[in-house]
Amino acid sequence: MHPERHAPVVVAFAIVVVSFAAILIRLCEAPTAIIAACRLTFATLLLLPLFVRARRQSSARGRGAVTSRQVALCSLAGLFLSLHFLFWIESLKLTTVANSVMLVTTSPVFAAVFAWLALKEAVGRKTLLAILLCLVGSLIISRGAVELGPGAIKGNVFAILGAAAFGAQFVVARSLRRTMGITEYAFLTYAAAAIILTGWAISSGHSFTGFDRINYLWFFLLALGPQVVGHTSLSWALRYFPTSRVAVSILGEPVGAALLAWVFFKEVPGYSLFVGGALILYGVYLAITEKMPGLRD
């Protein structure tokens, strides 16, 4: 079996699943911190049985326990993941789904730079061009937000900050995936993020009770689909693809999210989104088609 051969299919499927995240978040009638905390808490609970099983299998094969360094790095990844969700979910409350998702998925710009600085990963010429196209496309989309008012501009800024945090998380994940299995990495990272977000929600004076029952269903679906299936699949692919390539692939998400927002919320994409989105999607194509040496560790 050569799992790296299936990596492109796994990444494509993950993007489709993650595209539903913005829609589910918009359906949630709860503060940002509560949505984020519940999403990561449910995801941690869903992965707990798999984590226990993975640890038993590792012990049976004579592999050592998770090291303190790995726990510390997973906690750092959890911190970046927490910041990503806090900024991005808040942006969805201020600007359109299409704008928010298109901008938050510019994380490759940050991931490629961070990976180059921290992991010394080479960035191919096609990927560099892809990053440039993504930057230009994002600027075009941001300019279009001016017509929506100051709230939308603030929402766009939050989305970009969320992209930076997600890019940093990707770099930490890439480093850890060289020595950790996907189940151990995902569980420990999501658990750290859940603890951080829960603490933030409580310190902000929010309660986890009192919401309509349907909201808890949205929380659970966010955890099961976009988080456990989507994000975990992308983290799995980091063992076989460069950080920048996996991150750039995420830029396919805005297409699905924009179409879903059009159907569910009647948010008709503006001209700037089409122009900027076309540049970003072409950048995705360039990045994922660039031939680079395999990175399986």
The model's pLDDT over 223-233, given as tens digits with 9 standing for 90+, comes to: 999 889 988 88
Question: Is residue 288 very low, low, confident or very high in pLDDT (cuts 50, 70, 90)?
Answer: low
pLDDT score at 293: 43
pLDDT score at 156: 83
Q: What are the distances in angstroms from CA 215 to CA 41, 175, 260?
A: 15, 35, 19
**Residue range 91-110: mean pLDDT, rounded:** 79
Helix 271-289 vs helix 125-144: crossing angle, to nearest 10: 170
d(CA 206, CA 104): 25
pLDDT score at 208: 93
pLDDT score at 244: 62
Which of 47-56, 107-116, 279-288 has the least mean pLDDT? Answer: 279-288
**Residue range 19-46: mean pLDDT, rounded:** 92
**Contact of 84 with 113, CB cutoff 8 Å:** no
Residue 112 has pLDDT above 60, yes or no: yes
Residue 269 has pLDDT above 70, yes or no: no
Residues 6+ apart with CB under 8 A from 203: none
Residue 9 has pLDDT above 50, yes or no: yes
Residue 294 has pLDDT above 50, yes or no: no
Closest CA to 130 of 35, 250, 240, 7: 250
Q: What is the per-residue pLDDT across 133-175, written as a single tens digit (0 to 9) for each? A: 877 876 776 665 455 566 677 888 898 899 899 889 888 887 7
Question: Is residue 190 very low, low, confident or very high in pLDDT (cuts 50, 70, 90)?
Answer: very high
**Residue range 184-200: mean pLDDT, rounded:** 95
**Contact of 252 with 13, CB cutoff 8 Å:** no
**Contact of 152 with 90, CB cutoff 8 Å:** no
pLDDT score at 62: 66
First to last CA, the chain: 15
**Residue range 273-282: mean pLDDT, rounded:** 77
Closest CA to 140 of 104, 99, 180, 168: 99
Residue 2 has pLDDT above 70, yes or no: no
**Residue range 3-32: mean pLDDT, rounded:** 82
pLDDT score at 271: 72
Question: Is residue 90 very low, low, confident or very high in pLDDT (cuts 50, 70, 90)?
Answer: very high
Return the percentage of the chain with pLDDT > 90, whole number: 28
The two structure tokens encoding residue 149: 């008012």
More confident residue, 297 or 137: 137
Give the other-Cβ count within 10 Å of 285's Cβ.
Answer: 15
**Contact of 163 with 254, CB cutoff 8 Å:** no
Closest CA to 98 of 296, 244, 292, 280: 280
Domain ranges of the chain: 3-289
This model's pTM is above 0.85: no
**Residue range 218-246: mean pLDDT, rounded:** 82
Return the percentage of the chain with pLDDT > 70, whole number: 81
Residue 295 has pLDDT above 60, yes or no: no
**Contact of 82 with 196, CB cutoff 8 Å:** yes
